[in-house]
Structures are given as C-alpha cells and as structure tokens.
Structure 1
C-alpha cells in the first residue's frame, strides 16, 4: 500500500492553482514535458520519488501566500501519487530537492530573482534554469544555506538525478545514466517503431534461413540452435 497523505485540519485554504498558465508558448511547454516525463520514466521503479510539473509548493503551514509552482520538481523520499498541491508539512517536511525552470520571453528578471530566493531559502539542493531561445543553461548547487553557481554546465552530471547535460550549438541534450538521451513523445514513438521493425526484419530473416539451412543438411535441432529458435518454431516453419 502507498503511504497516505495526511489532511490539513486548519481552516486556511491552500489553492491548487495560482491562475497562471503552465507555459507561455509551445517551446517552453515542450521542454517542461520532456524533462518531467523523462524523469518519470527514469524513476518509474522507485516508488519514493515524487515528480511533478507546475504544482504549487507550500513550504510553510499557516501561510498560503508563501508558494511557488516550479516547472518541474523532484522530491526524493516521498511516495508517488496525485496531489492538488505539495504541502510540505504533510510530506514529512521534505522539500523538493531538484527544481527546473524553463524560461520564456514573458519571464522577468525580478520574477526569476524571487524564485531563486524562494528555492534557496526553502531547501532546494539543485536548481536549473534553461532558456531554449538562447540555448543557455544555468545551475546552482546547495552549499550550506546557499545555492552556489555551477561554473560549467556543459557535461555537468546532477548529483541527485545522475543525468548529464550537454549543450550543443542547436539545443540542450540530457542523458540518462545509461547514456540514453531524453526524448520527446514523438521521438520515443519513432524509436519504438524502429525497434519493432528491426525485430520483424530479424524474424523474417530467420524464417528465410530455415529452408536454406535444411538444404545444407542441418537437422531441425541444429537449425534451432543456430538461429536461437525453439525446435517447435523451426518445425512449424518447415511444414
């Protein structure tokens, strides 16, 4: 059974929405979904890693004005599951350890400065900002009470996520620990289709090889061993 989230018994209302759109344009939205969903895939087998996009985070009980909605946040030590908002006092007081923000032309310097101060104050360990228009990635890593700038982001490996960032002249590439690149949904579907076609081609080649090997004098058992097939599969193909 998954861990149950406690309910807030106070009369203070903690809204699930701040009335702001998740993204200002298609490019920003695409990057938010790519990062969030690929992280979901990466930690799919770990039940105690909670990942969310554009979810309001309330760090202080009793004050519903102290809040932020990171584009993507990752919380180690909390169970997966749906939430209307992330109320930290109901989550063993564990703050998100990793936060991503994707810039759009609508973001202002003052707004981003406030976000930085919030994340620094309330315990974020790793903070990343990506500007897809400028192909610029910035990062900060916690040192004591402060978030310290990461001087070189190209080829940087996140201590918490173990993913690698690679900046090219055209885009940001993010790699899983197994060196597989973060993919869009379209790229993932195309990759799966290519894999399916390769399997079909291999199966077709095996079927075509069976009668040729039989003509060479190989037994059914030898053909099965040579093609990594079962004896039954070879016999069926020869019928």
Structure 2
C-alpha cells in the first residue's frame, strides 16, 4: 500500500477533478442508499472506518454509495459500490466518480453489503464487472447471514480468498469472520477494530457525516415516492384519455349506424313510392317503363 504524500505541484495536478459538473451523468441511480437499517449500519461502519484509516493521506479518496462512471459518453456503464477506496486521487466532494476526470484511475478496493433483494446472479455479475474494470480487491458481506467473501484480482480472473484472518494487501486491514450470524470484525493495521455504527454516532464529526448520508437516503426515497406518484398520475391521465377516445369512437360508430339506418329507410321508401307509381300507371294502361 503506497502511503507517499504528493508534493505541492503534484497535489495541484490532482485537483484537476474539480471540473465543471457534467449533468448528463446523474449523481443518483434513483435507488435508496440502503434497503434496511442493518445494511445501512454496515455501509456506514465500513466507509467511516476506511475514512478514519486514511484520514492523514490526502491522495487516498474514500467514498460510500457514490456512482462510478467508467466510460465517457456511456452513462449506462455505471456501477454503485457501497464503499470504495481509490489510491492516487485526492480527497474532496464529488457528485459521482467519473473515471476520465480522475486521470483514468480505477478504484482499487470495493465493498458491497448485501440487501435482502440481492440475488446470486446479480452479485456474480457485479463481481465480473468489477474485475473487468480492474478492481484489485472486492469484498462482499451479508450481515444477516454473517457470510463474508473476498476476491483478489489475478491475470486469469478474480481468485477467492480465505476471508477469515485475511489481511488486505492494499488496505492493511485484517478481517475476522466469526461463526455464522455473528458480526464481522475489521481490524486496522494497529489491531484496533473499526468502530460500530453506534460508536461512530458518538463522534460528532462522524455523526454529522452519518446524518448527511441518512438525509440523502431519505431525499432519494422521497424522490422515488414523488416519481412513482407522477407515474401513477400520468398512467391515470392516459387511462382517462383512452377512455374518452373509446367513448368518442363508440359515439361515432353509433352515429354512423344511425346514418346507415336512415339511408336504408329512405331508400326503401323511395322504392315503395316508385312501385306504387308503376302500379297506378299499369292500372291506367300505361307502360311504366
């Protein structure tokens, strides 16, 4: 793990990420940060632990729940790890991590915390995509079951690691995976465990960061609710428009039917009149033709 701090000039170069924001790359995928309180606690615990671990290193960027765009011009090539660590990029606020703005630096370490909606196929696809982009270490934790897995990137693909007692080559942290359904323990290089969500909440600065993350989660949820309400309203309007169109079509069909009936009746009356006149002429000895 490189801990060298850049000099003044290289630090200024690293600030190049402060480019005008590109609005075509959204800062949210429309999904809440977490789908349960358990998942949220663990995302915060891991992200804040990593933040504290690299607080003294200005060239290590740590983020949680930040969209990562890999290819300029393709906003569909996006990933949303629960936490990521990027060595060689400066700290600072970002609306998203745009790889081309970050000198092409790929996040080296990625964490995902399971939610109850995740499927094995979905997680396998995530792992494949992270590997294809060049992520060196990928860790997946399911706090409800206690399952913890890790993969290390190799030339022939991601290699699973023995997670219990494993020390991350990049982070220097050690993972202790206890028996199932017991909490994962993450130890920093000094052997101190990452602080839990509750312990972090007692720290004023961490509490403010947690509060901001929670407010963001609520805003996303509110936007989703409003979006769903608008979609329902639009669907109702379309249904009402369809209903009116059907009624108008039925009225036109009824009018057409009446016109045909009146035309048929008029034609029948004319035929009767012609036949009566012909009969009268024949009675008088006149050929109707």
TM-score (norm 1): 0.74
Q: Offset of 1:109 from its aligned partner?
A: 2.2
Stretches of structure 1 that go unaligned for 5 or more consecutive residues are: 193-239
Considering only aligned residues, what root-mean-square deviation do their CA atoms show, in Å? 2.1
SS where residue 7 of structure 1 aligns?
A: coil
The answer on 1:186 being equivalent to 2:194 is no
Going from structure 1 to structure 2, the CA distance change for 1:6 and 1:81 (only over 3 Å counts) comes to: closer
- Aligned position for 2:109: 98
**Greater RCO (Cα-Cα under 8 Å, separation 6 or more):** 2
The answer for unaligned runs of 5 or more in structure 2 is 1-10, 205-289
Q: 1:5 aligns with which of 17, 22, 27?
A: 17
Secondary structure in structure 2 of the residue aligned to 1:4: helix
Task: Tell me the distance in 2 between the aligned counterparts of 1:187 and 1:180.
Answer: 13
User: How far apart in 2 are the matches of 1:62 and 1:104?
Assistant: 30
Seen in structure 2, the aligned counterparts of structure 1 residues 8 and 147 have a Cα distance that, compared at 3 Å, is farther
SS in 1 for 2:45: helix
Match of 1:35 in 2: 46
Structure 2 residue 130 is the aligned partner of structure 1 residue 140 = no
Shift of the 9–72 alpha-carbon distance from structure 1 to 2, 3 Å rule, reads closer
1:34-66: per-residue Cα shift (whole Å, max 9, x none)?
Answer: 000011000000000001011000111110001
Gap change, CA 1:189 and 1:9, over 3 Å in 2: closer
- Does residue 60 (structure 1) correspond to residue 71 (structure 2)? The answer is yes
| Residue 168 in structure 1 maps to residue 168 in structure 2 | no
More helix by share: 2
The DSSP-based 3-state class of the residue aligned with 1:119 is helix
Q: Deviation string for 1:174-231 (max 9, x for gaps)?
A: 0000111111243357799xxxxxxxxxxxxxxxxxxxxxxxxxxxxxxxxxxxxxxx
- Kindly report which structure 2 residues correspond to 1:68-107, keeping only aligned pairs within 5 A, or say none: 68-107=79-118
Separation in structure 1 between the aligned mates of residue 31 and residue 63 of structure 2, nearest angstrom: 16
Contact 1:120/1:145 (CA < 8 Å) preserved in 2? Answer: no
Write out per-residue CA displacement over residues 12-51 of structure 1, whole angstroms, 9 at most, x where no aligned residue.
8111111011111011000000000011000000000001
Supply the distance in 2 between the matched residues of 1:36 and 1:127 (Cα, whole angstroms).
14
